[in-house]
Amino acid sequence: MNSTVKKLPKSQVEITVTLPWEEWKEELHHAAEHLAKDVKVSGFRPGKAPRDVIEKRFGKPAILVEAAEHAVQHSYPRALKQEEIDAIGKPEVTLGKLAEHEPLEYTVVTAVLPEVILKPWKDAVKGVNKEYAEKTDVVAEEEISAELDRLTEMRAKLVTVNREARMGDNVLVDFSVLQDGVLIENGKSEKHPLTLGKGVFIPGFEEQLLGMKEGDEKTFELTFPAEYHVKHLAGKPATFAVKMGVVQEREVPAIDDAFATSLGNFTSLENLKETMREGLLEEKKVKNKEERRGRLLDVLVEHSAIEHPEILIEEELSRMVREFEMQVRSMGLDFSEYLVQMKKTEEEMKKEWLPQAKKRLSAHMILDRLAKEEEMAVENEAVEAEMNKTLAQYKDTKDIEKKIDMERLYASVRGQLLNEKVFEFLEKL
Protein backbone atom coordinates (compact mmCIF):
# COMPACT_ATOMS: atom_id res chain seq x y z
CA MET A 1 0.00 0.00 0.00
CA ASN A 2 1.31 3.42 -0.95
CA SER A 3 -0.01 6.72 0.44
CA THR A 4 0.74 10.39 0.00
CA VAL A 5 -0.50 13.36 2.00
CA LYS A 6 -1.32 16.88 0.87
CA LYS A 7 -2.07 19.62 3.39
CA LEU A 8 -5.22 21.68 2.84
CA PRO A 9 -6.47 24.90 4.53
CA LYS A 10 -8.40 24.87 7.84
CA SER A 11 -6.51 21.88 9.28
CA GLN A 12 -7.55 19.42 6.59
CA VAL A 13 -5.47 16.92 4.62
CA GLU A 14 -5.97 14.99 1.41
CA ILE A 15 -4.67 11.44 1.58
CA THR A 16 -4.20 9.50 -1.65
CA VAL A 17 -3.97 5.72 -1.18
CA THR A 18 -3.00 3.18 -3.83
CA LEU A 19 -3.65 -0.54 -3.25
CA PRO A 20 -2.08 -3.11 -5.62
CA TRP A 21 -4.51 -5.61 -7.17
CA GLU A 22 -3.03 -8.36 -4.99
CA GLU A 23 -4.06 -6.43 -1.89
CA TRP A 24 -7.67 -5.79 -2.75
CA LYS A 25 -8.74 -8.63 -5.06
CA GLU A 26 -9.96 -10.73 -2.11
CA GLU A 27 -12.44 -7.97 -1.32
CA LEU A 28 -14.45 -8.95 -4.43
CA HIS A 29 -15.26 -12.28 -2.84
CA HIS A 30 -16.30 -10.58 0.42
CA ALA A 31 -18.36 -8.04 -1.55
CA ALA A 32 -20.26 -10.80 -3.35
CA GLU A 33 -20.96 -12.56 -0.03
CA HIS A 34 -22.20 -9.31 1.49
CA LEU A 35 -24.56 -8.58 -1.40
CA ALA A 36 -25.82 -12.18 -1.40
CA LYS A 37 -27.12 -11.80 2.16
CA ASP A 38 -29.90 -9.47 1.02
CA VAL A 39 -30.89 -11.45 -2.10
CA LYS A 40 -33.15 -14.49 -2.52
CA VAL A 41 -31.92 -16.66 -5.42
CA SER A 42 -34.01 -19.63 -6.49
CA GLY A 43 -32.25 -22.91 -5.73
CA PHE A 44 -29.87 -21.47 -3.12
CA ARG A 45 -30.13 -20.86 0.60
CA PRO A 46 -30.01 -17.16 1.68
CA GLY A 47 -26.43 -15.89 1.36
CA LYS A 48 -25.15 -19.03 -0.41
CA ALA A 49 -25.53 -18.00 -4.05
CA PRO A 50 -22.24 -18.32 -6.03
CA ARG A 51 -20.33 -15.20 -7.00
CA ASP A 52 -21.04 -15.57 -10.74
CA VAL A 53 -24.78 -15.66 -9.97
CA ILE A 54 -24.52 -12.53 -7.81
CA GLU A 55 -22.53 -10.78 -10.56
CA LYS A 56 -25.27 -11.56 -13.07
CA ARG A 57 -27.90 -10.20 -10.66
CA PHE A 58 -26.08 -6.96 -9.68
CA GLY A 59 -23.56 -6.49 -12.48
CA LYS A 60 -19.73 -6.36 -12.29
CA PRO A 61 -19.59 -2.56 -11.54
CA ALA A 62 -21.71 -2.98 -8.40
CA ILE A 63 -19.42 -5.79 -7.16
CA LEU A 64 -16.35 -3.62 -7.79
CA VAL A 65 -17.84 -0.63 -5.92
CA GLU A 66 -18.79 -2.83 -2.96
CA ALA A 67 -15.32 -4.39 -2.95
CA ALA A 68 -13.64 -0.99 -3.14
CA GLU A 69 -15.67 0.28 -0.17
CA HIS A 70 -14.58 -2.78 1.83
CA ALA A 71 -10.97 -2.13 0.82
CA VAL A 72 -11.21 1.50 1.95
CA GLN A 73 -12.61 0.49 5.34
CA HIS A 74 -9.73 -1.92 5.89
CA SER A 75 -6.86 0.16 4.47
CA TYR A 76 -7.74 3.73 5.56
CA PRO A 77 -6.90 3.16 9.28
CA ARG A 78 -3.55 1.67 8.16
CA ALA A 79 -2.85 4.74 6.04
CA LEU A 80 -3.58 7.04 9.02
CA LYS A 81 -1.19 5.07 11.18
CA GLN A 82 1.45 4.94 8.47
CA GLU A 83 1.32 8.72 7.94
CA GLU A 84 0.91 9.44 11.69
CA ILE A 85 -2.26 11.46 11.14
CA ASP A 86 -4.76 12.28 13.93
CA ALA A 87 -7.95 12.42 11.88
CA ILE A 88 -11.20 13.79 13.31
CA GLY A 89 -14.74 13.89 11.98
CA LYS A 90 -16.22 12.03 9.05
CA PRO A 91 -13.87 11.62 6.05
CA GLU A 92 -14.91 12.35 2.46
CA VAL A 93 -13.86 9.44 0.21
CA THR A 94 -13.54 9.60 -3.57
CA LEU A 95 -12.90 6.37 -5.49
CA GLY A 96 -10.74 6.34 -8.59
CA LYS A 97 -11.23 4.14 -11.66
CA LEU A 98 -12.33 0.60 -10.73
CA ALA A 99 -11.19 -2.39 -12.79
CA GLU A 100 -10.14 -5.97 -12.11
CA HIS A 101 -6.39 -6.69 -12.13
CA GLU A 102 -5.72 -2.97 -11.69
CA PRO A 103 -4.57 -1.05 -8.58
CA LEU A 104 -7.27 0.67 -6.51
CA GLU A 105 -6.71 4.37 -5.95
CA TYR A 106 -8.83 6.54 -3.70
CA THR A 107 -8.52 9.91 -2.01
CA VAL A 108 -9.72 10.93 1.42
CA VAL A 109 -10.22 14.49 2.63
CA THR A 110 -10.41 14.68 6.41
CA ALA A 111 -10.04 17.20 9.21
CA VAL A 112 -7.08 16.66 11.51
CA LEU A 113 -6.11 17.86 14.94
CA PRO A 114 -4.55 21.25 14.24
CA GLU A 115 -0.91 22.02 14.75
CA VAL A 116 -0.29 24.34 17.68
CA ILE A 117 2.38 26.88 16.72
CA LEU A 118 3.69 28.79 19.73
CA LYS A 119 5.81 31.91 19.39
CA PRO A 120 8.20 32.73 22.29
CA TRP A 121 5.78 33.10 25.20
CA LYS A 122 7.69 32.72 28.48
CA ASP A 123 8.52 36.42 28.93
CA ALA A 124 4.84 37.32 28.58
CA VAL A 125 3.87 34.68 31.17
CA LYS A 126 6.59 35.93 33.53
CA GLY A 127 5.20 39.44 33.10
CA VAL A 128 1.75 38.32 34.23
CA ASN A 129 3.23 36.45 37.19
CA LYS A 130 5.23 39.52 38.24
CA GLU A 131 2.13 41.72 38.03
CA TYR A 132 0.14 39.41 40.31
CA ALA A 133 3.06 38.79 42.67
CA GLU A 134 3.09 42.53 43.38
CA LYS A 135 -0.60 42.49 44.29
CA THR A 136 -1.36 42.31 47.99
CA ASP A 137 -4.65 40.83 49.09
CA VAL A 138 -5.96 43.09 51.84
CA VAL A 139 -9.44 43.44 53.31
CA ALA A 140 -10.25 47.05 54.17
CA GLU A 141 -12.34 48.02 57.20
CA GLU A 142 -14.88 49.54 54.80
CA GLU A 143 -15.45 46.09 53.31
CA ILE A 144 -16.05 44.60 56.75
CA SER A 145 -18.49 47.41 57.57
CA ALA A 146 -20.35 46.92 54.29
CA GLU A 147 -20.67 43.20 54.97
CA LEU A 148 -21.94 43.85 58.51
CA ASP A 149 -24.51 46.31 57.13
CA ARG A 150 -25.65 43.66 54.66
CA LEU A 151 -26.07 41.13 57.48
CA THR A 152 -28.09 43.52 59.62
CA GLU A 153 -30.33 44.41 56.65
CA MET A 154 -31.00 40.71 56.13
CA ARG A 155 -32.11 40.42 59.76
CA ALA A 156 -34.10 43.64 59.93
CA LYS A 157 -37.59 43.38 61.43
CA LEU A 158 -40.63 45.10 59.95
CA VAL A 159 -42.54 47.10 62.55
CA THR A 160 -45.95 48.63 61.70
CA VAL A 161 -46.00 52.35 62.50
CA ASN A 162 -48.77 54.98 62.63
CA ARG A 163 -47.05 57.77 60.73
CA GLU A 164 -46.36 59.14 57.26
CA ALA A 165 -44.40 56.94 54.87
CA ARG A 166 -40.68 57.71 54.55
CA MET A 167 -37.87 56.55 52.30
CA GLY A 168 -36.79 53.04 53.30
CA ASP A 169 -40.22 52.08 54.65
CA ASN A 170 -42.07 48.98 53.50
CA VAL A 171 -45.66 49.73 52.46
CA LEU A 172 -48.69 47.94 51.07
CA VAL A 173 -50.59 49.97 48.47
CA ASP A 174 -53.73 49.61 46.33
CA PHE A 175 -53.35 51.30 42.96
CA SER A 176 -54.96 51.66 39.55
CA VAL A 177 -53.40 53.02 36.35
CA LEU A 178 -55.66 54.65 33.77
CA GLN A 179 -55.22 56.23 30.36
CA ASP A 180 -58.03 58.47 29.10
CA GLY A 181 -60.12 57.19 32.01
CA VAL A 182 -59.69 53.52 30.98
CA LEU A 183 -57.87 50.99 33.15
CA ILE A 184 -54.77 49.70 31.29
CA GLU A 185 -54.03 45.97 31.02
CA ASN A 186 -52.68 44.60 34.33
CA GLY A 187 -53.02 48.13 35.68
CA LYS A 188 -54.62 47.29 39.03
CA SER A 189 -53.21 45.74 42.20
CA GLU A 190 -54.20 45.47 45.85
CA LYS A 191 -51.94 45.28 48.90
CA HIS A 192 -48.96 45.54 46.61
CA PRO A 193 -45.70 45.31 48.66
CA LEU A 194 -43.17 48.04 47.99
CA THR A 195 -39.95 49.31 49.59
CA LEU A 196 -39.74 53.05 49.10
CA GLY A 197 -36.47 54.09 47.53
CA LYS A 198 -35.80 50.84 45.66
CA GLY A 199 -36.90 52.39 42.37
CA VAL A 200 -38.96 49.39 41.30
CA PHE A 201 -41.84 51.46 39.83
CA ILE A 202 -41.55 54.09 37.12
CA PRO A 203 -39.71 57.30 38.14
CA GLY A 204 -41.77 59.52 40.40
CA PHE A 205 -44.20 56.88 41.68
CA GLU A 206 -42.49 56.12 44.97
CA GLU A 207 -41.82 59.80 45.64
CA GLN A 208 -45.57 60.45 45.38
CA LEU A 209 -46.16 58.01 48.26
CA LEU A 210 -43.93 59.88 50.69
CA GLY A 211 -45.92 61.58 53.43
CA MET A 212 -49.01 59.38 53.00
CA LYS A 213 -50.42 57.59 56.07
CA GLU A 214 -52.45 54.39 56.20
CA GLY A 215 -55.87 55.03 54.64
CA ASP A 216 -54.78 58.13 52.68
CA GLU A 217 -55.78 58.31 49.01
CA LYS A 218 -54.11 60.23 46.21
CA THR A 219 -54.38 60.71 42.45
CA PHE A 220 -51.48 62.00 40.33
CA GLU A 221 -50.15 62.08 36.76
CA LEU A 222 -46.91 60.44 35.58
CA THR A 223 -45.38 59.71 32.18
CA PHE A 224 -43.96 56.30 31.37
CA PRO A 225 -40.25 56.36 30.40
CA ALA A 226 -39.49 56.47 26.67
CA GLU A 227 -37.67 53.12 26.96
CA TYR A 228 -40.45 51.39 28.95
CA HIS A 229 -40.62 47.66 28.17
CA VAL A 230 -44.34 47.78 27.26
CA LYS A 231 -44.00 49.58 23.92
CA HIS A 232 -47.53 50.99 23.64
CA LEU A 233 -47.11 52.68 27.05
CA ALA A 234 -43.59 54.05 26.45
CA GLY A 235 -43.49 57.85 26.65
CA LYS A 236 -47.25 58.07 27.31
CA PRO A 237 -48.92 59.89 30.28
CA ALA A 238 -51.16 58.03 32.73
CA THR A 239 -53.27 58.69 35.83
CA PHE A 240 -52.42 56.82 39.04
CA ALA A 241 -54.99 56.38 41.80
CA VAL A 242 -53.37 55.16 45.03
CA LYS A 243 -54.58 54.20 48.50
CA MET A 244 -51.96 53.70 51.20
CA GLY A 245 -52.18 50.55 53.28
CA VAL A 246 -49.89 49.43 56.09
CA VAL A 247 -46.70 51.45 56.67
CA GLN A 248 -43.81 49.54 58.22
CA GLU A 249 -40.35 50.70 59.14
CA ARG A 250 -37.30 48.46 59.08
CA GLU A 251 -35.86 47.89 62.55
CA VAL A 252 -32.20 47.10 61.93
CA PRO A 253 -30.34 45.41 64.81
CA ALA A 254 -27.38 47.21 66.38
CA ILE A 255 -23.94 45.96 65.37
CA ASP A 256 -22.60 44.73 68.71
CA ASP A 257 -21.54 41.59 70.57
CA ALA A 258 -25.16 40.47 71.01
CA PHE A 259 -25.73 40.66 67.25
CA ALA A 260 -22.54 38.68 66.61
CA THR A 261 -23.44 35.87 69.02
CA SER A 262 -26.95 35.66 67.52
CA LEU A 263 -25.42 34.63 64.17
CA GLY A 264 -23.85 31.40 65.42
CA ASN A 265 -20.63 30.26 67.06
CA PHE A 266 -19.13 33.73 67.54
CA THR A 267 -17.94 34.89 70.95
CA SER A 268 -17.95 38.60 70.18
CA LEU A 269 -18.25 41.23 67.46
CA GLU A 270 -14.48 41.21 67.06
CA ASN A 271 -14.54 37.43 66.59
CA LEU A 272 -17.22 37.84 63.90
CA LYS A 273 -15.17 40.53 62.14
CA GLU A 274 -12.07 38.34 62.13
CA THR A 275 -14.00 35.42 60.63
CA MET A 276 -15.47 37.72 58.01
CA ARG A 277 -12.02 39.11 57.22
CA GLU A 278 -10.67 35.59 56.69
CA GLY A 279 -13.60 34.70 54.44
CA LEU A 280 -13.32 37.86 52.35
CA LEU A 281 -9.56 37.39 52.06
CA GLU A 282 -10.06 33.85 50.79
CA GLU A 283 -12.63 35.10 48.26
CA LYS A 284 -10.10 37.65 46.99
CA LYS A 285 -7.39 35.02 46.67
CA VAL A 286 -9.69 32.75 44.66
CA LYS A 287 -10.80 35.68 42.47
CA ASN A 288 -7.21 36.77 41.83
CA LYS A 289 -6.19 33.21 41.06
CA GLU A 290 -8.96 32.91 38.46
CA GLU A 291 -8.10 36.32 36.99
CA ARG A 292 -4.40 35.42 36.82
CA ARG A 293 -5.07 32.14 35.06
CA GLY A 294 -7.37 33.92 32.64
CA ARG A 295 -4.58 36.37 31.84
CA LEU A 296 -2.08 33.53 31.41
CA LEU A 297 -4.38 31.88 28.89
CA ASP A 298 -4.86 35.20 27.10
CA VAL A 299 -1.13 35.74 26.57
CA LEU A 300 -0.62 32.12 25.47
CA VAL A 301 -3.42 32.43 22.92
CA GLU A 302 -1.97 35.75 21.75
CA HIS A 303 1.39 34.01 21.18
CA SER A 304 -0.11 31.13 19.20
CA ALA A 305 -1.20 30.39 15.65
CA ILE A 306 -3.81 27.65 15.21
CA GLU A 307 -6.02 26.77 12.24
CA HIS A 308 -9.25 25.50 13.76
CA PRO A 309 -11.09 22.75 11.82
CA GLU A 310 -14.74 23.59 11.19
CA ILE A 311 -15.87 20.43 12.96
CA LEU A 312 -14.13 21.41 16.21
CA ILE A 313 -15.49 24.95 16.04
CA GLU A 314 -19.03 23.65 15.56
CA GLU A 315 -18.62 21.18 18.45
CA GLU A 316 -17.36 23.95 20.74
CA LEU A 317 -20.19 26.29 19.77
CA SER A 318 -22.74 23.53 20.42
CA ARG A 319 -21.12 22.90 23.81
CA MET A 320 -21.36 26.61 24.66
CA VAL A 321 -25.04 26.68 23.69
CA ARG A 322 -25.74 23.64 25.90
CA GLU A 323 -23.93 25.28 28.83
CA PHE A 324 -25.91 28.51 28.36
CA GLU A 325 -29.17 26.57 28.05
CA MET A 326 -28.47 24.89 31.40
CA GLN A 327 -27.89 28.32 32.99
CA VAL A 328 -31.17 29.61 31.59
CA ARG A 329 -33.08 26.54 32.78
CA SER A 330 -31.48 26.81 36.24
CA MET A 331 -33.21 30.20 36.53
CA GLY A 332 -36.54 28.52 35.84
CA LEU A 333 -36.82 29.80 32.26
CA ASP A 334 -37.65 27.91 29.10
CA PHE A 335 -34.73 28.19 26.68
CA SER A 336 -36.89 28.46 23.55
CA GLU A 337 -39.02 31.20 25.09
CA TYR A 338 -35.88 32.98 26.25
CA LEU A 339 -34.56 33.08 22.68
CA VAL A 340 -37.88 34.49 21.48
CA GLN A 341 -37.78 37.22 24.14
CA MET A 342 -34.18 38.08 23.21
CA LYS A 343 -35.15 38.06 19.52
CA LYS A 344 -32.26 35.75 18.70
CA THR A 345 -31.89 32.36 17.07
CA GLU A 346 -29.44 29.70 18.15
CA GLU A 347 -27.48 30.24 14.93
CA GLU A 348 -27.23 33.99 15.62
CA MET A 349 -25.86 33.25 19.08
CA LYS A 350 -23.28 30.89 17.61
CA LYS A 351 -22.19 33.56 15.12
CA GLU A 352 -21.69 36.06 17.97
CA TRP A 353 -19.80 33.51 20.05
CA LEU A 354 -17.45 32.40 17.24
CA PRO A 355 -14.39 34.39 18.47
CA GLN A 356 -14.93 33.09 22.01
CA ALA A 357 -15.26 29.50 20.75
CA LYS A 358 -11.96 29.78 18.85
CA LYS A 359 -10.30 31.23 21.94
CA ARG A 360 -11.56 28.38 24.13
CA LEU A 361 -10.36 25.81 21.62
CA SER A 362 -6.94 27.45 21.40
CA ALA A 363 -6.59 27.57 25.18
CA HIS A 364 -7.47 23.88 25.49
CA MET A 365 -5.02 22.84 22.77
CA ILE A 366 -2.20 24.97 24.18
CA LEU A 367 -2.61 23.52 27.68
CA ASP A 368 -2.64 20.03 26.16
CA ARG A 369 0.54 20.71 24.21
CA LEU A 370 2.36 22.14 27.24
CA ALA A 371 1.36 19.09 29.28
CA LYS A 372 2.91 16.82 26.64
CA GLU A 373 6.04 18.96 26.29
CA GLU A 374 6.62 18.91 30.05
CA GLU A 375 5.75 15.18 30.18
CA MET A 376 3.07 15.74 32.80
CA ALA A 377 0.83 12.88 33.87
CA VAL A 378 -2.00 12.26 36.32
CA GLU A 379 -2.17 9.07 38.37
CA ASN A 380 -5.29 6.92 37.99
CA GLU A 381 -5.74 7.00 41.76
CA ALA A 382 -5.99 10.80 41.74
CA VAL A 383 -8.56 10.75 38.93
CA GLU A 384 -10.65 8.10 40.67
CA ALA A 385 -10.53 10.03 43.96
CA GLU A 386 -11.93 13.15 42.25
CA MET A 387 -14.53 11.06 40.43
CA ASN A 388 -15.70 9.64 43.76
CA LYS A 389 -16.16 13.20 45.08
CA THR A 390 -18.40 13.97 42.11
CA LEU A 391 -20.37 10.75 42.45
CA ALA A 392 -20.82 11.38 46.19
CA GLN A 393 -22.94 14.42 45.31
CA TYR A 394 -25.45 12.03 43.74
CA LYS A 395 -25.35 9.39 46.49
CA ASP A 396 -29.14 9.49 46.84
CA THR A 397 -29.66 8.84 43.11
CA LYS A 398 -30.40 5.19 42.34
CA ASP A 399 -28.08 3.43 39.86
CA ILE A 400 -26.13 6.67 39.33
CA GLU A 401 -23.22 4.89 37.63
CA LYS A 402 -25.64 3.66 34.95
CA LYS A 403 -26.92 7.18 34.35
CA ILE A 404 -23.52 8.87 34.09
CA ASP A 405 -21.10 8.28 31.22
CA MET A 406 -18.18 7.08 33.35
CA GLU A 407 -15.67 7.22 30.48
CA ARG A 408 -16.57 10.83 29.76
CA LEU A 409 -16.44 11.69 33.48
CA TYR A 410 -12.99 10.04 33.74
CA ALA A 411 -11.70 12.00 30.73
CA SER A 412 -13.15 15.26 32.08
CA VAL A 413 -11.65 14.83 35.56
CA ARG A 414 -8.30 13.76 34.15
CA GLY A 415 -8.27 16.83 31.90
CA GLN A 416 -9.04 19.14 34.84
CA LEU A 417 -6.27 17.66 36.97
CA LEU A 418 -3.80 17.85 34.09
CA ASN A 419 -4.72 21.49 33.43
CA GLU A 420 -4.17 22.23 37.12
CA LYS A 421 -0.62 20.88 36.79
CA VAL A 422 0.03 23.03 33.72
CA PHE A 423 -1.22 26.17 35.50
CA GLU A 424 0.97 25.40 38.52
CA PHE A 425 3.94 25.04 36.15
CA LEU A 426 3.13 28.39 34.47
CA GLU A 427 2.64 30.20 37.78
CA LYS A 428 6.14 29.22 38.91
CA LEU A 429 7.85 30.82 35.92
Q: What is the pLDDT of residues 5-17, one digit of tens each?
A: 999 998 999 999 9
pLDDT recorded at residue 87: 94
Predicted confidence at residue 397, as pLDDT, reads 65
Rg of the chain on CA atoms, in Å: 35
Residue 202: closest CA among 174, 166, 232, 229: 229
Which pLDDT band holds residue 43 (cuts at 50, 70, 90)? low
Element (H, E) at 20: none
- Kindly state the DSSP code that residue 66 receives in the 8-state scheme: H
Domains in the chain, ordered, with CATH? 2-112 (3.30.70.1050), 157-251 (3.10.50.40)
- In the structure, what pLDDT confidence band is assigned to residue 170 with cuts at 50, 70 and 90? very high
Query: What digits encode the pLDDT tens for the residues 172-182?
Result: 999 999 999 99
Average of pLDDT values for 376-386? 93
Task: State yes or no: pLDDT of 158 exceeds 60.
Answer: yes
Mean pLDDT of the chain: 91
**How sure is the predictor about 36, in pLDDT bands with cuts at 50, 70 and 90?**
low
The residue-averaged pLDDT of 401-406 equals: 75
DSSP assignment of 347-412, as one string? HHHHHHHHHHHHHHHHHHHHHHHHHHHTT----HHHHHHHHHHHHHTTTTSTTHHHHS-HHHHHHH
Indicate the pLDDT class of residue 117, thresholds 50, 70 and 90: very high
CA distance 35 to 38: 6
pLDDT, residue 298, reads 96
Looking only at the bridges linking them, the beta strands covering 2-8 and 12-19 are antiparallel
Residue 18, SS3 per DSSP: strand
Confidence category of residue 214, pLDDT binned at 50, 70, 90: very high
State the amino acid at position 233 in one-letter form: L
Q: What is the pLDDT of residue 368?
A: 94
Which residue in 66, 109, 60, 54 sits closest to 85, CA to CA? 109
Cα angle vertex 187, ends 184, 191, to 5°? Answer: 160
pLDDT tens-digit readout, 350-363: 999 999 999 999 99
| Distance, first Cα to last Cα, the chain | 48
What are residue 251's DSSP bridge partners?
157
What number of other Cβ atoms are within 10 A of residue 111's Cβ? 22
